[in-house]
Structure 1
Amino acid sequence: MSLQSLFNAIRREDTALWVGAGFSLYAGYPGGGKLQDILFKSLNTEEQSQLPANSSLKQTSAALVTFRGGSRNELNQILFDVFDKQPEATHLHDLLSKIPHFHEIITTNYDALIENSYTRRAHVIRSAKDVPYIKLNKPAIFKPHGDLQNLDSIIITENDYSGFYNLDKNDPFWTAIRDIIAKKNQLFLAYGFEDENIWSWFDLIDNAVGTHRKERFLVAPNWKPLQIKKLESRHIEYFDMTADQFLADLNEHLKKHIATDLENRIVSHDTFNTYISFHDLDSKVAIVSGKPKIMSLNKQGQAPTLNTINFGVNDKKTFTQIEKLANGFGRSVKIGAANISFLEHLVEGFTLPLSKESISEFHIIKLSKTHKCSIEIPEEDLVLEDVKFKITPLSQNKYSVEGGVYGFRIKANLNFKDEGIVIDINFSHPPLLPSLHKCLQFQRVVAAYILGKKTLLNWDGKVRDIRPLDVKMEAASNLDLLRFFEDLRIIEKCFQVRFEGASTGFTEQNFHLASELASLITNGYIQLDFPDGIEFTRTDGVKLIQMDHLPDSGSVLIVTGLDETVNILGIGVELGRPGIQINDIEKPEYNADRTEVHIKSKKINIGNGSVQFFRFNRKTGKMKSSIMVKLKQSNQ
């Protein structure tokens, strides 16, 4: 039988574990032979001479009690000194405690290393009174030889073993152990088989169940052929390996199979969750078609999760494509399912269920490394610092570049030719504007580059001239953005507002509004000419006061409403009261009661007809009586 069979039995949660003294040797605790030597040296010379040669641990401990007049005080003190000390190491016990597939552990060790490693996750069974408290969801640690918490329970001398043989076989403690022997596979780890009475129980059960008995295994290093022969007579499979190597191999085996075991219902959901939690993993499991299905497996909290895909291919062409990708050429490789020889998915060393039959094709995409550079336009005295970018080789002399600065993202394909660089470039803006200084700096560098001005790239300690031979890009849109940012800066300075952090609504309406407002700020007005004339009509039934005596020619200024505020990129700009200056007027015409006036003109100074932002009246103090003026095109 192979080690695989033992691992499979453990995966089914159908194996009880027996732990012997050899498992605590690495922690600095003695085995049976070394403990016998310690007890022997505690005797004086005369006492030692009375013991037969090669005395066993049972004989030596019994002699010590006899020489001390039947007192176990010195014996108990020696056991305390030996086993109640700080261990040199506990990593094997800790590893064992993180394998939840063992629901019953039976140990003849006096130390408390196993239960200490399990902390509160296990129930220690020392006597019959502990048996009723065994819980299905907690491992049970049985201690048939007792421990230091109850000195009267320790089995070590010949008299102890004699009484051990004569224990009530109906005692719940021993009934529970016999039940484990009968119903589960048995694994002996670092065990020496000093307990002949335990073997008698095995014999009793074997006689009852015959060939229906469960399997038995022993893991220990360097057993002699005669000892192995004795194991075979007890129907025990021997594996020549140390406990630490066995647990390490078992742990890797469980990591490889536990996800599949859960989906195939070989292991319980509780055991699966407990095991992955010991590796700081969380999972999401759904029931699909009546069976558990792992939807995700990841590190706990916000820690990054390592995913690994291992695969093989069975054709030379695909292998060559992958080899080129690994050497820096190309961006991706597509592999059809027929060309995949094997496929596996690992998450932090755990194998997730995945087969080549479950996919139609497989894509490999190369991740690019992030670099940092600066870009300089010497002629314009422009510099962009700390530009981060990724460069991916596509083929010889062809590269894909993705990068950004100030939140602006750049994507470009570069083709290096003998006569220069041919570049296809586009960029996207950030969702929120950085400062206008940064916006203008970025757009001016882009504009200069498009126009073919000398461009220096400082990267990896080297300066390269990357002036393009040909640029494929919509230059008009870049110039529109450049003018827009320049208009916004004018508005910022005049109205003491800030557009940094505003939503980037790069719409025609915002472009037009910013342009008109910047023009008004720069020129003081916006002049509109109407060759066919324009007619203003005021007909609200209220007698005009300021317009009773209009000039027959020249110009007239009218304040047209209350304070106005316009919205640009979500930022409110307070403009003051709007006004209209009518130029080159013709002779006004009044109605009979002078409640209506008609003025004809071919030239006016306003913002526009729909958004009024004429602001100079507040600045000049020309605060006339407010009237509302409607604009309509005149056919005259």
Structure 2
Amino acid sequence: MIEDQEHLFEKILEMALKGKLILWAGAGLSMEAGYPSGGQLAELLWQRLSDTEKQDLQIDLLKVSDYYVNHQENGRKELIKTLTEIFHKKPQPSDSHEIINKMAFIKTIITTNYDKLFEEHILDIEVLKTSKDLTRIKANSRKLIKIHGDLNSPKQLVLTESDYSKLYGNGRQDPFWSKVRVELTEKGVIFIGYGFNDLNVRGLFEYLHKKLKRHQQPKYLIAPNLSNPDKAKLESYGIQYLDCNGIDFLTRLYQEWKTTGFMHLGSDEVDTDGLINSLKHEGLSDAISIKSGGGRLFTYNPVPGKAWNLTVTSDQEEFGKRINDWQKGYGADDLFIPKQIINEAILKIGDFVVGNQETIPEFRFFRQGRIHDKVRIVFFESKIELENLNVRSYKYGEAGLKIIVSDQYACFTIVIPKISTSNFTYTGTIKPKEICESVSGLLKWYDAINALGNGEPFKIYSKELPKGYQDANGGSFKNAEGFQSTRLVFQVLKEIEEKFKVRFSEIKEKEIFSEGTLKRLNEFLHLFRENRFKPDYANGLPVRSISDDPEKDVIPLINKANKDGFLIFLSDQNNVSLLNQEIQLGKGQLFIEKPILENMSSKTNEMIIKSGTNNYFVFYEAFGLATFKDHKND
């Protein structure tokens, strides 16, 4: 293509990336599958006439069709029968239709062809032939608009000059043509498979130009070797011309789109659905997870076996050393390569270019490890069992192993520096799943880790894990003590469940370990252990006088409490909201030892009461209310 042609191609590619491109397909596309062009079809029909009938009959599709209908017995029926015989043969493979099937960014195809090549190649495409079809079409589906009908619906076939006159003359009021016009006013059009020397094609272009007028989007005719007069005529219809073979154009457009689309993902310039659907058409992914920002693709989940093709070049030794060490298994962690030591990188899913050194935020190679499903671990002394575990094992350096054990509750990482059947030391970390489904399930994990820390023997039931770990007696866990405080959190939650007949489920880890929740759980811990807890009233307790004269009601009360030792406040009902559960504590008592009065204001009746010994105690009915005698000697 020359420079002006390249500019036109770039404009078409831009519309393709946005999903704003219509393919208008003519008979030339069907010729690749062995079907006739419009001119060839006219000649085939003409050849079936007698010599007398052929005289003075021009070989033109509309004129020959008119002759069949108007001058032969059961003319229209015979014409349809003849067309059915011509198009009934098995089509040859069509590269053009295979490519168009994959071009999910082309969501609307309009054709004047009678054959079923598009329906056979694009299985999920929906066909529109009349206004009645509009009611069943899904909003985001790929659509094939057959404006001349097809042989499955003979009554709707557009064959003769009178058929053309009805179709293009009355289209203004027809909902079917209204749909076509809406599509053409919203998207650009590429015409492929049309010969400009066909008078019927010229009539179609002229009709569209008149109907769309100022509302029309860019239109392009893709065809080779058009003459200058024909180019000028095209221009008068508002159609731009690309001198190119149809299959060559489609192939290049698809390849350019594949190498460009993902590079702009996340911007308004790209139709994301079109990209994902095209991956599916090539069998590359049926569940790809995408997060985009600033046009960058962050996460890919391709189908195993059809995942990655990453080409990276670097002239620094550090790059080669990191890759070699990682391949040999030195370290079980992911491999991170700084972008600064990368000269060039091209990342592909199949043939789709999805990133390079500019758009990929970081180069990190994740270790997948060997996967073992349905593993069972049993601690015989404490009788703890963990079942249906997913285990990933990794080579760790020369002779070690890293194991990641997980289920729906938590993930536990174990590092064993050297493989041995006994006298080895574990190090590791535990991480609850982001959503906690069951307190009991997670607590069982912490109990298992506690058993590890105590050196308790255990057995792993798995056919695939290394033999030395199927009976791991003698191992000990080096840093289990760090888990005790976290375990206590879930222990308190479990005790709350049992006492108050509630169940905590689907709670987020960050909610469990929030400052407010931990404070509340600490209060429950003291209630369970001591039947009371000590609130923090460092700034005192604000109270108000019931009457207008605190000298008569508050101060005598404070003096009497000082003599007795405690001031007691009572409350009728106390309900606590904890992790989406309502905990009913019942009546409450607040004991303040050696109360003193501060900051009394006669104007507002507002006072601060503090404990002279900084001792405050809270009791609840659910854990047993207290009496004065219970605390007189505390």
CA contact (8 A) 2:422 2:473 kept: no
CA contact (8 A) 1:343 1:355 kept: yes
CA contact (8 A) 1:165 1:197 kept: no
Task: Give runs of aligned pairs for residues 480-491 of structure 1, distance below 5 A.
Answer: none
Q: Does 1:259 align with 2:283?
A: no
**Structure-2 residue corresponding to 1:413:** none
The whole-number CA distance in structure 2 between the counterparts of 1:239 and 1:7 is 13
Q: Does 1:171 align with 2:139?
A: no
Q: How much does 1:6 deviate?
A: 0.8
**Structure-2 residue corresponding to 1:245:** 248
- Structure 1 counterpart of 2:206, from 200, 206, 216: 200
Q: Does 1:9 align with 2:12?
A: no
Q: How much does 1:78 deviate?
A: 1.3
**Structure-1 residue corresponding to 2:300:** 297
CA contact (8 A) 2:302 2:349 kept: no
Q: Does 1:125 align with 2:139?
A: no
**Structure-2 residue corresponding to 1:150:** 153
**Structure-2 residue corresponding to 1:67:** 71
**Structure-2 residue corresponding to 1:99:** 103
- Structure 2 counterpart of 1:429, from 382, 396, 419: 419
Supply the AA of the counterpart residue of 2:419: H
Distance 1:286 1:46, change over 3 A: closer
Unaligned stretches of 5+ residues in structure 1:
364-401, 410-426, 434-498, 509-636
Supply the AA of the counterpart residue of 2:86: V
Q: Larger % of helix: which?
A: 2
CA contact (8 A) 1:122 1:139 kept: yes
**Structure-2 residue corresponding to 1:112:** 116
Distance 1:19 1:206, change over 3 A: same
The whole-number CA distance in structure 1 between the counterparts of 2:279 and 2:29 is 25
Supply the AA of the counterpart residue of 1:349: D
Distance 1:505 1:227, change over 3 A: farther
Q: How much does 1:199 deviate?
A: 2.3
**Structure-2 residue corresponding to 1:56:** 60
**Structure-1 residue corresponding to 2:233:** 230
Task: Give runs of aligned pairs for residues 236-635 of structure 1, distance below 5 A.
Answer: 236-280=239-283, 281-285=285-289, 294-300=297-303, 302-303=304-305, 305-311=307-313, 318=315, 337=339, 342-356=344-358, 428-429=418-419, 502-505=470-473
Supply the AA of the counterpart residue of 1:57: L
Q: How much does 1:170 deviate?
A: 1.0
Q: How much does 1:173 deviate?
A: 0.9
SS in structure 1 at match of 2:80: helix
CA contact (8 A) 1:310 1:344 kept: yes
- CA-based RMSD of the aligned residues comes to 4.2
Distance 1:208 1:326, change over 3 A: closer
CA contact (8 A) 2:101 2:281 kept: no
Distance 1:242 1:214, change over 3 A: same
Q: How much does 1:505 deviate?
A: 5.0
**Structure-2 residue corresponding to 1:388:** none
The whole-number CA distance in structure 1 between the counterparts of 2:79 and 2:142 is 31
CA contact (8 A) 2:219 2:238 kept: yes
The whole-number CA distance in structure 2 between the counterparts of 1:144 and 1:49 is 32
Q: How much does 1:114 deviate?
A: 0.8
The whole-number CA distance in structure 1 between the counterparts of 2:321 and 2:355 is 30
Distance 1:294 1:326, change over 3 A: closer
The whole-number CA distance in structure 2 between the counterparts of 1:362 and 1:288 is 17
SS in structure 1 at match of 2:300: strand
Q: How much does 1:246 deviate?
A: 2.2
Q: Does 1:46 align with 2:48?
A: no
CA contact (8 A) 1:285 1:293 kept: no
Distance 1:182 1:308, change over 3 A: same
- Structure 2 counterpart of 1:29, from 26, 35, 40: 35
Supply the AA of the counterpart residue of 1:275: S
**Structure-1 residue corresponding to 2:606:** none
The whole-number CA distance in structure 2 between the counterparts of 1:35 and 1:125 is 24
**Structure-2 residue corresponding to 1:528:** none
Deviation string 1:44-87 (CA, Å, 9 cap, x unpaired) is 111112324xx311112222333314622221111101112321
Supply the AA of the counterpart residue of 2:102: K
SS in structure 1 at match of 2:75: coil
Q: How much does 1:223 deviate?
A: 2.8
CA contact (8 A) 1:432 1:503 kept: no
Deviation string 1:513-572 (CA, Å, 9 cap, x unpaired) is xxxxxxxxxxxxxxxxxxxxxxxxxxxxxxxxxxxxxxxxxxxxxxxxxxxxxxxxxxxx
The whole-number CA distance in structure 1 between the counterparts of 2:209 and 2:470 is 85
Distance 1:286 1:308, change over 3 A: closer
Q: How much does 1:346 deviate?
A: 1.7
User: Identity over aligned residues, as a percent?
Assistant: 25
SS in structure 2 at match of 1:214: coil
Supply the AA of the counterpart residue of 1:203: H
SS in structure 1 at match of 2:347: strand
CA contact (8 A) 1:15 1:184 kept: yes
Find the structure with the greater CA-based Rg: 1
Deviation string 1:191-238 (CA, Å, 9 cap, x unpaired) is 2353344323332245444xxx42111222333333233222323222
Supply the AA of the counterpart residue of 2:56: Q
Tell me which moved more, 347-356 or 29-38: 347-356
Distance 1:352 1:172, change over 3 A: same
Q: How much does 1:23 deviate?
A: 0.5
- Structure 2 counterpart of 1:89, from 72, 90, 93: 93
Q: How much does 1:343 deviate?
A: 3.2
Distance 1:44 1:174, change over 3 A: same
SS in structure 1 at match of 2:348: strand
The whole-number CA distance in structure 1 between the counterparts of 2:336 and 2:170 is 71
Q: How much does 1:252 deviate?
A: 1.8
Q: Does 1:219 align with 2:222?
A: yes
The whole-number CA distance in structure 2 between the counterparts of 1:505 and 1:13 is 62
Q: How much does 1:94 deviate?
A: 3.1
Unaligned stretches of 5+ residues in structure 2:
1-6, 366-396, 403-416, 424-466, 477-634
The whole-number CA distance in structure 2 between the counterparts of 1:201 and 1:360 is 54
CA contact (8 A) 1:62 1:158 kept: yes
Deviation string 1:116-152 (CA, Å, 9 cap, x unpaired) is 2222x22211111112333221122111111101112
